[in-house]
Amino acid sequence: MTNSVEKRSSTAGLLPGTLVHIGRKRAEKVKIVVSNYDEGHFEEKEVRRAEDVAAFKDKINVTWVNVDGLHDVRVVEELGSIFGLHNLTLEDILNTGHRPKRDDLGDYILVILKVLAYEEMGGGRAAEQISLVLGRGFVISFQERPNKMFDPIRAQIRSGQGLVRKSGADYLVYRLIDTVVDNYFTVVEKLGERIEELEDSLVTDPRAQTLQNMHNLKRETILLRQAVWPMREVVSELERAESPLINRSTAMYFRDIYDHVFEVIDIVETYRDMSSGMLDIYLSSVSNRLNAVMKVLTIVATIFIPLTFIVGIYGMNFKYMPELEWQWGYPAVLLAILMIVAGMLLTFKKKGWM
Amino acid sequence: MTNSVEKRSSTAGLLPGTLVHIGRKRAEKVKIVVSNYDEGHFEEKEVRRAEDVAAFKDKINVTWVNVDGLHDVRVVEELGSIFGLHNLTLEDILNTGHRPKRDDLGDYILVILKVLAYEEMGGGRAAEQISLVLGRGFVISFQERPNKMFDPIRAQIRSGQGLVRKSGADYLVYRLIDTVVDNYFTVVEKLGERIEELEDSLVTDPRAQTLQNMHNLKRETILLRQAVWPMREVVSELERAESPLINRSTAMYFRDIYDHVFEVIDIVETYRDMSSGMLDIYLSSVSNRLNAVMKVLTIVATIFIPLTFIVGIYGMNFKYMPELEWQWGYPAVLLAILMIVAGMLLTFKKKGWM
Amino acid sequence: MTNSVEKRSSTAGLLPGTLVHIGRKRAEKVKIVVSNYDEGHFEEKEVRRAEDVAAFKDKINVTWVNVDGLHDVRVVEELGSIFGLHNLTLEDILNTGHRPKRDDLGDYILVILKVLAYEEMGGGRAAEQISLVLGRGFVISFQERPNKMFDPIRAQIRSGQGLVRKSGADYLVYRLIDTVVDNYFTVVEKLGERIEELEDSLVTDPRAQTLQNMHNLKRETILLRQAVWPMREVVSELERAESPLINRSTAMYFRDIYDHVFEVIDIVETYRDMSSGMLDIYLSSVSNRLNAVMKVLTIVATIFIPLTFIVGIYGMNFKYMPELEWQWGYPAVLLAILMIVAGMLLTFKKKGWM
Amino acid sequence: MTNSVEKRSSTAGLLPGTLVHIGRKRAEKVKIVVSNYDEGHFEEKEVRRAEDVAAFKDKINVTWVNVDGLHDVRVVEELGSIFGLHNLTLEDILNTGHRPKRDDLGDYILVILKVLAYEEMGGGRAAEQISLVLGRGFVISFQERPNKMFDPIRAQIRSGQGLVRKSGADYLVYRLIDTVVDNYFTVVEKLGERIEELEDSLVTDPRAQTLQNMHNLKRETILLRQAVWPMREVVSELERAESPLINRSTAMYFRDIYDHVFEVIDIVETYRDMSSGMLDIYLSSVSNRLNAVMKVLTIVATIFIPLTFIVGIYGMNFKYMPELEWQWGYPAVLLAILMIVAGMLLTFKKKGWM
Amino acid sequence: MTNSVEKRSSTAGLLPGTLVHIGRKRAEKVKIVVSNYDEGHFEEKEVRRAEDVAAFKDKINVTWVNVDGLHDVRVVEELGSIFGLHNLTLEDILNTGHRPKRDDLGDYILVILKVLAYEEMGGGRAAEQISLVLGRGFVISFQERPNKMFDPIRAQIRSGQGLVRKSGADYLVYRLIDTVVDNYFTVVEKLGERIEELEDSLVTDPRAQTLQNMHNLKRETILLRQAVWPMREVVSELERAESPLINRSTAMYFRDIYDHVFEVIDIVETYRDMSSGMLDIYLSSVSNRLNAVMKVLTIVATIFIPLTFIVGIYGMNFKYMPELEWQWGYPAVLLAILMIVAGMLLTFKKKGWM
């Protein structure tokens, strides 16, 4: 879990203006795709250098710059200078340990989100950061690494389906955030399936491994909560549409996202409640098992220890032990033993131990 | 529990305008009943196609369209276009995993509620969604499946009893929501009975099954909370009556519902408190049982293990063991044993173990 | 506990205007006492029929109508029509499962309170509902059953002592509510005594019964909280005195009640905290007892099981066992046994087990 | 703990205007000391009867009346009539179970505080009530019993040191409250020392007594919280200085007290957190001890029970048991036993039980 | 932990104007370094006496006075009189047990922060107090002892790098606070590493020491929370920039710190959640171990106690025991024993105990 804390300490003492990428380093080249569209026009191009984006800047249509990879600080810096982003904005984009937020800087709005890459959760990192910059006529999206998440939106832009081509940059931002929130539902469903599996195994087979699984589940739920809770505020601020960058008509779509975020939170909180209940069941199962083991021990010991004492009596070597001489002594002892066993079994039955 | 999370992931990436039903699919035909009434007039008709509702739209009287079944997306779509509902509203109606809410869209108010079908709770689904649309002179109610819940209201409309026929569409919405909240009381009562049963069985017979029952109860309480808590906000927004669609005089009735919702919440929270107390009792009962078992084991072992040692002594085969030759050796040992047993029993009595 | 949930379900589907008494049915006749007073004048009369109250309605002095018993719906209905009470108000009065509240209806203020009848708490019902209606020059108080609680106030009115006769209807309402809040202190004191008893028994004698007592205590604390918490809001709304029915000078008295309610809440919350602490002590006591039992078992078994083995060795029947022939063999074994026992006892002492 | 709930029930039903002292009765005479001072003038006098205070009332300088003991109701009543205090104010002063509060009555401000007398905490009462009345040019302070707490302030007034003589009545009130808050630090320090002691004993020697100590500590922390939490509000209301009785320049001093109160709260909350952690350690220590005991038992029983069986075999009296005749039978059995013991010890070592 | 509570009690009763240093006393000389700079000019000087600072006071450039060590009260007093600081401000600076806060006194702003010295946490003190005073053109920073934390900032001022030289005193304060917040990330990372280590050891080797470590971790997390939570408010008040001492343009930087503080809080809260989960795992591991021990005991005892009884039977000395005479009696018994053992082992396998 602790590796989700990005190593920020290395930046302590640096000039606040020094841009440093905080997050996993990667070797591959940063990929920049620029789309420019309006209702009648569409153009898409992968550019090699950040400088090439400048050509798109002053077009009247909507420009969407998508950047896959943050490890090349110069790319972010260059884009920042083209689109007039504040140094602190660039820092926020590069610091991938940031919590989701929305900053209105007047000329543009910065939105920071978390995508939960469920497949990797078991391993190291769980949350990827997506930063969106919504300006007048342009949207820049930064992702930590190549990701097919936004492909359906790009496809719709290309084909002219839906409302994207007919709408402005704010609608594109809505679609991007909506995609991220839909991703939470996927994560939540998978989490739900695992909880269900775990619940079944609790009753049938409570083992130490179960505990570990519950702990892992808890970790992931915490991660999910950290990603989703701040989204409420982020989306509700966007919905209020106090910035001229967001149309009143788009605000309603953000309201829709807001409801979705609340749904996810509801489910996650339910999972939290269920998880704590599961621990109780687990601990009780363990207790019950201990009880079962102890009962077996007690039954066996309680029956045989007294019997061993009885046969021990007649194993004594005293000279004068009249019973030993009796012809029916041995069968009598055996009979007595049988009766004691029967009596004890009856008692245990009555106590409900057997 | 996790199946209460509707499979939303299948819609990820779809155009936001694409209507998809999220919820259990059903084969039966969607049933649409239209009522049109005012104080003097009443008309009720089951229509075959959604288009037939259009004829009722512009009547001056109150029109109530009740739709049983959401699996036919075209019906919802058609009604949406007749009554001018926004696409996102239709999405909300079709997505049955929605949390209760109230949306004021100016021309109409959308209210989403949950009915708790208690009988099915043990099995899969527990909450059915009811969506109400209150417009100028019309109410549309969507239910997931045929449900007799609203029959008493329909009967009153038919017979002209009560205030429904004398009042507007907002009063009808009040009556529908009131019916749903009354349904919560039924659920809460049944839950209460089960808690009482469980409490009794805790004291008399704490078994692993009890734990499972407590877990199920907890689940249902969580479901209930999720349905009821958001209702506070929903009803309080209706009560404020800021929309021209709601009369000041009807607001008072919503205030009444608001009180009822609070009563339900109070009871549910009490159940939650009691449930957590029950777990403590259960765990303590299990501990106490373990204690009882251990005491029996300890008493038996503590008495007989030393005795076995004593008789073992005189079972040794040493040549020179003077006691073995004594005439009263055997009775003396038996007497010593009896005295030891008596002493031990007294000690256990004093310790309160017997 | 669950029987504190009034059976509301029976009213589901009824016309909202149909008045039904929700609560314990009773056979006795409803008792109505009307008092009419001002500084110089006093008149008190028990009336047979609700209609007889009408004669007192338009007198200028303060009129106090006290109704003992709610099971005769017609009485409430008749009073409602005499004093112009809204139908929903009557419903609230009759539904004895209502949570404490204050409703300002312009012409009158409805206050709903809970009295805690401590004696009955162990059994079925714990909270009785008292409804007060404060109108222009009149107060109506509804109680579920005859109750001597308000007798001191009546006595003061009769004798002209104190400020009641000199003040208006709002002061009378203050006195009634004050009496109810003073009742909470009585309940809280008794609860405190029981907690003290329980705490003592925890240390001296932790039994299963103790657990049951703790559970009962918890239940009662929950009931108390439910009665008292909403009172804060009720009284603070009265204190604000926004209604012309309440004098500015009376508001100060409500402020005093407000402080008292807060005191009760403080004590109740302290009890809650102490209770949870008591459970921890109980569980630890049980654990400590188990530990004690286990130590006895371990000491006895650890001493005698090895000894039994030793004497078992010399109980073997091998032909060639030189020790058996030795003259001092037997005493030597006994000595060895004694030394082992002494060594073990020393070890246990050192471990602090004895 | 429960004796900290003052017996209020005895006042139930009394006229609200009847003054009754709620708290421990005392026999000693109530002590009244009046000081009158300004920058140039100082006068101090112990008066015998409350009436004698009247002479000081209309002096222009600051008058401080300190009353030690509340059990003589007439004293409070007389002072009330001299300084024009409302009847409810007198009630609040006499009811020593009151929670800390500040009431602005226009002509004067009533402040109720709690002093924690730590030395007595183990026994019955823990919190003494101090009531301060700040009027135009006078301060009255009521204490439950003689207390040297305010002596340093009196000494400064006498000697003319510090700002007291140079400032108004509001500054004197600030000094009195500051003294009370400083008293909390003393209590908190002593509590801290005891927690530290307890923590040490947890690790070294977890006994039942430890649990009792933890419970007592919890009680005291609860008492402390109840005294300190409401102080935040009390002091912050004074700081806002909305009353003409408090100078803007004094407000800053109240801000300082506010910070101190927050410090105390911070420490108390930390203690609460630490306490709950200590219970976990205690319970785990107990569990670990049980584990240790069980291991000893298991090791001894697991080694010797099988051995006893083996020697039991050769204690059988069958006629045809060839081993018994072998010359090396006995040594062979002893060797086998030694090897079994060695094997078992190795296993236990590997399992980490020894 | 309790030694983090500074001994305040010693100041109880003192004149509020008497300055006393509350905190660890130190012998070394207090070190005062004064820097004076603007974009073109830089001057730095270590002064011997506080009086020497006065010469820098009225320079137009930014003056930064850094004081290492608070134990010499006269230094603080002298600086206070030079820069016109209120007596209560000086008290706050000297009382190192203060919680983080921001006080706007009009002429200057006082900011109190905590630095967490992680290395010392195991030992006595954990949090050092840093007080910043921001006035018109000057910043005074007080540290409890020499600390290299601010060296990078000083280096930048010297070299003229970054924005410090170009900006005003408010920017310098931003840089100082930013450095302190960056320090939290370092602490948080180290804490994270220790949690990770602890988590690993929980699964592999749950010992009593682990519990102690968890307790220590909890302590440190509490300390961290106390330092960080109030920072939210402190920084958000600075960000609002209502004082003329803070430029609108600097406010944005404080917003950045605000986000960082929130990140730290997020991580700390995650640690808290994980810690409580770890305790559950620890307790379960202990339970599981006990279970394992009990199973071994039960298996061994359940197998051998009955066998010992069987061989005991044939150790009896009855005259008439026909089996003893049989030639195949001994082998038959051995066979029976083998079969019993096999049967039991099978049963244990089936129960999953082996």
pLDDT tens sequence across C195-244: 888 887 776 676 667 777 888 888 888 888 888 989 999 999 898 878 88
Amino acid at position A205, single letter: D
Higher pLDDT, D172 or A72: D172
**Cα–Cα distance for residue pair E265/E282, rounded to 1 Å:** 25
Domain with CATH 1.20.58.340 in chain D: 292-351
Q: Which fold has domain C292-351?
A: Methane Monooxygenase Hydroxylase; Chain G, domain 1 (1.20.58)
**Cα–Cα distance for residue pair D210/D208, rounded to 1 Å:** 5
Cβ neighbours of E147 (radius 10 Å): 14
Q: Using CB atoms, which residue from D287, D296, D314 is nearest to C298?
A: D296
**Cα–Cα distance for residue pair E282/E200, rounded to 1 Å:** 11
Q: Is C14 exposed, middle or buried (0-12, 13-18, 19+ CB in 10 A)?
A: middle
Q: How many alpha carbons fall within 13 Å on the CB side of residue C101?
A: 18
Q: Is A23 left (phi over 0), alpha (psi -120 to 50) or beta?
A: left
Instruction: Answer whether residue A300 shows pLDDT above 60.
Output: yes
pLDDT of residue A322: 85
Is the CATH code 1.20.58.340 the one for domain A293-351?
A: yes
Chain E residues within 8 A of A332 when measuring between CB atoms: none
Closest C-alpha among D70, D150, D73, D79 to residue D108:
D79
pLDDT of residue D26: 65
pLDDT of residue D123: 45
Closest C-alpha among E338, A258, C256, C276 to residue D86:
C256
Of all helices (H) and strands (E), which one includes residue B303? helix B248-313
Domain boundaries B294-351, corresponding CATH code: 1.20.58.340
Residues in chain C with pLDDT < 50?
Answer: 1-5, 120-125
Q: Does D192 touch chain E (CB under 8 A)?
A: yes
Mean pLDDT of chain D, nearest integer: 83
Higher pLDDT, A7 or C94: C94
pLDDT of residue E261: 92
pLDDT tens sequence across D129-145: 999 999 998 999 999 88
Of all helices (H) and strands (E), which one includes residue B236? helix B208-240
Q: How many CB pairs under 8 A join D and E?
A: 163
Q: What residue in B sits closest to A320 (Cα-Cα)?
A: B327
**Cα–Cα distance for residue pair C156/D268, rounded to 1 Å:** 47
Q: The pTM is what?
A: 0.79
Min Cα separation C115/chain D (Å): 14
pLDDT tens sequence across B239-271: 887 888 998 888 889 988 999 998 899 888 888
Higher pLDDT, A24 or C185: C185
Q: Using CB atoms, which residue from A219, A314, A327 is nearest to E320?
A: A327
Sheet holding B108-116, edge to edge: B42-47, B31-37, B62-68, B138-143, B127-135, B108-116, B101-104
Instruction: Answer whether residue D9 shows pLDDT above 60.
Output: no
Q: Which DSSP symbol is given to A30?
A: P
Extended beta strands in chain C, E state: 31-37, 42-47, 62-68, 101-104, 109-116, 127-135, 138-143
Chain A residues within 8 A of B282 when measuring between CB atoms: 284
Q: Does B17 touch chain A (CB under 8 A)?
A: yes
Mean pLDDT of chain A, nearest integer: 83
Residues in chain B with pLDDT < 50?
Answer: 1-5, 120-125
In this structure, what is the dihedral angle of CA atoms B89, B93, B98, B99, given to the nearest 10 degrees?
A: 80
Q: Does C308 touch chain D (CB under 8 A)?
A: yes
Q: Does D183 touch chain E (CB under 8 A)?
A: yes
Chain E residues within 8 A of D182 when measuring between CB atoms: 8-9, 11-13
Task: Enter the tokens of residue C236.
Answer: 């603070």
Collapse the DSSP code of E87 into the 3-class scheme (helix H, G, I; strand E, B; otherwise coil) and give the result.
Answer: helix
Q: What is the mean predicted confidence (pLDDT) over A57-81?
A: 88
Closest C-alpha among C72, C239, C247 to residue C142:
C72
Angle (nearest 5°) at CA A288 between A287 and A292:
120
**Cα–Cα distance for residue pair E274/A218, rounded to 1 Å:** 8
Instruction: Answer whether residue D84 shows pLDDT above 60.
Output: yes
Q: Does C204 touch chain B (CB under 8 A)?
A: no
Instruction: Answer whether residue A242 shows pLDDT above 90.
Output: no
Structural contact between residues C134 and C175, judged by C-beta atoms closer than 8 angstroms: no
**Stretch 127-156 of chain C: residues touching chain D, C-beta under 8 Å:** 152, 156
In sequence order, the 6+-apart residues with CB closer than 8 A to the CB of B49 are B78
Mean pLDDT of chain B, nearest integer: 84
Q: Which CATH architecture has domain D2-283?
A: 2-Layer Sandwich (3.30)
**Stretch 232-291 of chain D: residues touching chain C, C-beta under 8 Å:** 279, 282-283, 286-287, 289-290
Q: Does B304 touch chain A (CB under 8 A)?
A: yes
Instruction: Answer whether residue E3 shows pLDDT above 70.
Output: no
Q: What residue in D sits closest to E275 (Cα-Cα)?
A: D277
What is the ipTM, given to two decimal places? 0.74
Residue of C3, C4, C5 for testing the chain B interface, max B β-carbons within 10 Å: C5
Q: Does C317 touch chain D (CB under 8 A)?
A: yes
Task: Enter the tokens of residue D307.
Answer: 């051995």
Structural contact between residues E76 and E202, judged by C-beta atoms closer than 8 angstroms: no
**Cα–Cα distance for residue pair A2/C222, rounded to 1 Å:** 40
pLDDT of residue E12: 53
pLDDT of residue A4: 43
Q: What is the mean predicted confidence (pLDDT) over D44-72?
A: 87
Q: How far is CA C286 from CA C210, C352, D203, in A?
A: 11, 20, 20
In this structure, what is the dihedral angle of CA atoms A274, A276, A279, A280, given to the nearest 10 degrees?
A: -90
Task: Enter the tokens of residue E73.
Answer: 């009260």
Beta-carbon separation of E274 and A222 below 8 A: yes
Instruction: Answer whether residue A64 shows pLDDT above 90.
Output: yes
Q: Does C301 touch chain D (CB under 8 A)?
A: yes
pLDDT of residue E208: 65
Amino acid at position E212, single letter: Q
Closest C-alpha among D155, A1, B353, A142 to residue C297:
B353
Domain with CATH 3.30.460.20 in chain B: 2-283
pLDDT tens sequence across D13-57: 555 556 777 776 666 788 999 999 988 888 898 988 888 888 887
Residue of B157, B264, B271, B316 for testing the chain C interface, max C β-carbons within 10 Å: B316
Of all helices (H) and strands (E), which one includes residue A138? strand A138-143
pLDDT of residue E7: 54
Q: What is the mean predicted confidence (pLDDT) over A333-348?
A: 90
pLDDT of residue B14: 58
Instruction: Answer whether residue D103 shows pLDDT above 50.
Output: yes
pLDDT tens sequence across D256-292: 899 999 889 988 888 888 877 787 778 777 777 888 8
Confidence band for A130, pLDDT divided at 50, 70 and 90: very high
pLDDT tens sequence across B280-308: 778 777 778 888 888 888 888 889 898 98
Instruction: Answer whether residue E173 shows pLDDT above 90.
Output: yes
Q: What is the mean predicted confidence (pLDDT) over A179-190?
A: 88
Sheet holding A62-68, edge to edge: A42-47, A31-37, A62-68, A138-143, A127-135, A108-116, A101-104
Q: Which residues of E2-14 are buried (b: 16+ CB within 10 A; e: fewer)?
A: bebbbebbebbbe
pLDDT tens sequence across E92-149: 899 888 889 998 888 999 999 998 775 544 444 467 899 999 999 899 999 988 878 8
pLDDT of residue B4: 43
Task: Enter the tokens of residue C348.
Answer: 């246990």
Residue of C6, C297, C321 for testing the chain B interface, max B β-carbons within 10 Å: C297
pLDDT of residue A175: 93
In sequence order, the 6+-apart residues with CB closer than 8 A to the CB of B23 are B6, B70, B71, B94, B95, B96, B97, B129, B144
Q: How many CB pairs under 8 A join A and E?
A: 164
In this structure, what is the dihedral angle of CA atoms A257, A262, A267, A273, given to the nearest 10 degrees?
A: 160
pLDDT tens sequence across D154-208: 998 998 888 888 889 999 999 999 999 988 888 888 888 888 888 877 766 766 6
Domain with CATH 1.20.58.340 in chain A: 293-351
Residue that has been written with the tokens 């244990």 in this structure: E348
**Cα–Cα distance for residue pair C260/D6, rounded to 1 Å:** 12
pLDDT of residue A123: 45
pLDDT of residue A269: 87
Mean pLDDT of chain E, nearest integer: 83
pLDDT tens sequence across E223-263: 888 889 999 999 998 988 788 899 888 888 998 899 999 88
Chain C residues within 8 A of D12 when measuring between CB atoms: 179, 182-183, 185-186
Q: Which DSSP symbol is given to D95?
A: B
Confidence band for D128, pLDDT divided at 50, 70 and 90: confident
